[in-house]
Amino acid sequence: VPEPFDTVAIVGVGLLGGSIGLAVRERHLARRVIGVGRPNSEPKLRDAVVLGAIDEASTDVAAGVAAANLVIVCTPVDTVAEQVLHIAKSCQPSTLITDVGSTKASIVRAIEGQLPPHITFVGSHPLAGSEKTGVRHARADLLVNKKVVVTPTDSTPAAAVTSIERFWTSLGALVDRRTPEDHDEIVAVTSHLMHLVASALAGGTSPEQLPLTASGWASMTRIAGGDPAVWLPIFRENRANILKAAAQFATTWEVCRAALEAGDFDRLGQLLAEGRERYQQATHLHNTDEPPADALGS
Amino acid sequence: VPEPFDTVAIVGVGLLGGSIGLAVRERHLARRVIGVGRPNSEPKLRDAVVLGAIDEASTDVAAGVAAANLVIVCTPVDTVAEQVLHIAKSCQPSTLITDVGSTKASIVRAIEGQLPPHITFVGSHPLAGSEKTGVRHARADLLVNKKVVVTPTDSTPAAAVTSIERFWTSLGALVDRRTPEDHDEIVAVTSHLMHLVASALAGGTSPEQLPLTASGWASMTRIAGGDPAVWLPIFRENRANILKAAAQFATTWEVCRAALEAGDFDRLGQLLAEGRERYQQATHLHNTDEPPADALGS
């Protein structure tokens, strides 16, 4: 695969697809970026052109991806595998396909062994979501210093993995390679569980209590503002892992609640200190694993 | 009580006390601001002077509050009532005392009927905390457009309530008057429960999972970064209400978890939509109850 890519096609130009397009264009990583969408997405694709996220738009998937060397599928997780298999039929040989789905195992395993020869898929998941959706919120720096999990399997050609990882790195992201199954198990805790808890906290606050909500509440419920159309398929695809994460959370939660109920404030103080330490550990981790400035292309 | 106040004393010059001091000085709401702390807090008080949060410092509480017309007690909730009763002995007649504690009933009821004549206490709670602590994070605009709950009782003189409410408004805050008991019941849900859940989520994430945390996780655990020395007394003082809030949350949570377990994605979609709507309702509420620009003193 020649790099930088001549033509990049983005299928589904929303927040993520749009941000990738903006970054590719701003960093001159491809000669042109084609935005691909369904016929009813024409207005959004026009927006994407105006906003500079794509050079041109196509509502004909086959035509849109035909010239691409790299295709990035940015549609809801339950449609990715089907899209990839469909798209692959229209791709030229040696085209690389990736995605941005928040679940990986079901997508990667559904595609594995089903592609025409010379077309390669490597699963990706940029950890850069937001409760905001749509190309209007896209930002060229959305992926800068953000993790992108890349999930090859034993049968993924090494050169394709390198190519995809280099692509994400060239957008300023930090690549973390995992198996699809490991990815799904971990993000069930670090992302999907968080969404379900946020939703329960928001829904469990009565309208009369809302006037006394402040920054703490807003922080704890912000991600519940995300689009159910994006999230419901994630819960469907990663259900077993999320149920396991929920059980893990229920245990920790009950320990905290029981300490409060028992009036055991030594124990509760310990638990608060442990939570604080884990939070600070994460903050430290993310502040120190930034790549050197030159790797950011700046 | 003459307004603007001649002298304001702030007992405990941390994030909140320091921010109040900065705002009072920047908005010329008092001739001078005295910062009061324990003998071992001298370095912090010196910082506060350098940062412009206070005009002068005193580690002698009696001397520090003697000249004040308004005393704001910004110490942990389990020390406020005792501090107020102690301070009141050194205050000149007609001094107004308030606090910034996150719990109100135990403080207000412990003080009620115990003050010398002509000294009045009105409980306050600015909903403007942060996981950051200390005067170095203080900001003159911390309270701008933030709610301050003021909790008078049947025996609080109306003039004192007006005076305190006008003070908070002059800092750019939005006053919300409640009984101490109503306040405690509501913030148990909107604030204290959030803290306990954040702590359980942070503590329940294993170190090996931390590399795949991103903005959602950070949002859901940020407040767990708060100082246990501030939060433990809050859990102690508002324990019964927080346990009630925890039970309310457990119910909503179990509904969400059970829908996922049952694979009832129609129901889960409904729940996600409800959580999203509540979040958007809160966002709308806080964006539309801003006071007119002139009430902000700008």
Q: For residue range A44-77, what is the model confidence (pLDDT) as tens digits?
A: 999 999 999 999 999 999 999 999 999 999 999 9
Tokens 């309270």 sit on residue: B143
Q: In this structure, what is the dihedral angle of CA atoms B246, B227, B190, B276, given to the nearest 10 degrees?
A: -100
Q: B127 with B150: CB under 8 angstroms?
A: no
Pairwise CB contact (< 8 Å): A205 & B278:
yes
Joined together, the tokens standing for residue A257 give 């609640």
Report whether pLDDT(B290) > 70: no
Nearest CA distance, B245 vs chain A (angstrom): 9
Q: What is the pLDDT of residue B209?
A: 97
* Alpha helices for chain A (secondary structure H): 15-26, 42-50, 61-66, 77-88, 105-111, 158-170, 180-187, 193-203, 215-221, 228-237, 239-261, 265-288
3-state secondary structure B185-238: HHHHHHHHHHHHHHHHHHHCCCHHHHHHCCHHHHHHHHHHHCCHHHHHHHHHHC
CA–CA separation, B239 and A7 (whole Å)? 61
Find the Cα–Cα–Cα–Cα dihedral B136, B141, B144, B150, rounded to 10°. 40
Q: Per-residue pLDDT averaged across B184-207, rounded?
A: 98
Residue matched to tokens 């928001």: A202
Between strands A147-151 and A120-126, the pairing is antiparallel
Show the tokens assigned to A91: 């791709």
Considering just the CA atoms, what is the radius of gyration of chain B in Å?
Answer: 21
Residues of B in contact with A183 (CB under 8 A): 212
Nearest CA in chain B to A177: B212
Q: What is the pLDDT of residues B202-224, one digit of tens each?
A: 999 999 999 999 999 999 999 99
- pLDDT value at position A24? 98
How many Cβ atoms are within 10 Å of A288's Cβ, its own excluded?
7
Q: What letter represents residue B170's amino acid?
A: S
A87 close to A68: Cβ distance less than 8 angstroms:
no
- Please give the full DSSP string across B173-186, using - where no structure is assigned: -EEEE--HHHHHHH
Q: What is the mean pLDDT of residues B89-95?
A: 96
Interchain pair B243, A260: CB under 8 A: yes
Q: Which residues, other chains included, contact A241 with Cβ-Cβ below 8 Å and sequence gap of 6+? A: A184, A185, A188, A192
For residue A172, CA distances in Å to A44, A122, B92 come to 26, 19, 62
Of the candidates A11, A284, A26, which has an alpha carbon nearest to the alpha carbon of residue A143? A26
In chain A, pLDDT over 70 holds for what percent of residues? 95
pLDDT of res. B133: 87
What is the band of B129 on the pLDDT scale with cuts at 50, 70, 90? confident
Percentage of chain B exceeding pLDDT 70: 95
* Confidence band for A297, pLDDT divided at 50, 70 and 90: very low
What was the pLDDT predicted at A101? 97
Q: What's the pLDDT score for residue A97?
A: 98
Per CB-CB distance under 8 Å, the chain A contacts of B194 are 201, 216-217, 219-220
Q: What is the pLDDT of residues B72-84, one digit of tens each?
A: 999 999 999 999 9
- Alpha carbon distance B251, A169 (integer Å): 44
A-B Cβ pairs (cutoff 8 Å, strict)? 300
Q: Using CB atoms, which residue from B207, B228, B249 is nearest to A273?
A: B228
Residue A4 has a pLDDT of 74
Element (H, E) at A175: strand A174-177
Residue scoring higher pLDDT (B132 or A179): A179
Token couple for A142: 């959305």
CA distance A164 to A156: 11
- Give the Cα separation of B103 and B131 in Å (integer): 17
Rounded to a whole number, what is the distance in angstroms from the first to the last CA of chain B? 25
Is pLDDT at A1 greater than 50 in this prediction? no
Q: Which of B78, B104, B195, B201 to mutate to test the interface with A (most CBs of A within 10 A)?
A: B201
Whole-number mean pLDDT of chain B?
Answer: 94
User: Nearest CA to B228 among A253, A271, A207, A146?
Assistant: A271
Q: Say if residues B141 and B115 touch (Cβ distance below 8 Å).
A: no
Q: What mean pLDDT comes out for the span A121-140?
A: 92
User: What integer pLDDT is reported at residue B288 of this predicted model?
Assistant: 66
What integer is the mean pLDDT of B282-293?
A: 69
Confidence of residue B3 (pLDDT cuts 50, 70, 90): low
Q: Cβ atoms within 10 A of the Cβ of A31, count? A: 12
CA distance A24 to B184: 51
Contact criterion met (CB < 8 Å) for A221 and B286: no
Task: Tell me the C-alpha distance between B9 and B141, whole Å.
Answer: 19
How would residue B243 be classed by pLDDT, with cut points 50, 70 and 90? very high
Which residue, among A1, A7, A138, A3, has the nearest Cα to A63 in the 3D structure?
A7
Residue by residue, DSSP assigns A87-143 as HHTTSPTT-EEEE--S--HHHHHHHTT-SPTT-EEEEEEES---S--SGGG--TTTT
pTM for the structure as a whole: 0.91
> Which of A79, A69, A264, A243 shows the shortest CA–CA distance to A167?
A69
Q: Give residue A288's pLDDT.
A: 66
Across B119-128, B129-138, B152-161, B224-233, least confident range: B129-138
| Mean pLDDT, range A150-167, rounded to an integer | 97
CB contact under 8 A, B235 and A260: yes
Q: Is B183 in contact with A268 (Cβ distance < 8 A)?
A: no
- Rounded Cα distance between A239 and B179, Å, is 44
- A290 pLDDT more than 80: no
pLDDT of residue A3: 63
Burial A108-117 (b: 16+ CB within 10 A, else e): beebbeebee
Q: Which amino acid is at B111?
A: I
Contact assignment for B242 to A221 by CB distance below 8 Å: no
Q: Which residues of B touch A221 (CB under 8 A)?
A: 275, 278-279, 282
> Does B224 sit within 8 Å of A219, measured CB to CB?
no
Mean pLDDT of chain A: 94
Residue pair B237/B106 in contact by the 8 Å Cβ criterion:
yes
- Between residues A19 and B294, which one has the greater pLDDT? A19
For residue B237, the distance in angstroms to the closest alpha carbon of chain A comes to: 11
Q: Residue A69: what pLDDT?
A: 97
Please give, rounded to a whole number of angstroms, the shortest distance from the CA of B298 to a CA of chain A: 23
**Tens-place pLDDT, residues B156-168:** 999 999 999 999 9
The residue type at B31 = R
Residue A293 has pLDDT above 50, yes or no: no
On the question of pLDDT at A166 being above 60, the answer is yes
Q: In the prediction, which pLDDT does A289 show?
A: 53
User: Two tokens at B100?
Assistant: 């910034």
For residue B298, what pLDDT is reported?
30
Buried b (16+ CB within 10 A) or exposed e, B137-176: ebebebbbebbbbbbbbeebeeebbebbbebbbbbbbbbb
Å between A31 CA and nearest CA of chain B: 31
Q: Which pLDDT score is estimated for B44?
A: 96
- At residue B175 the predicted structure's pLDDT band, cuts being 50, 70 and 90, is very high
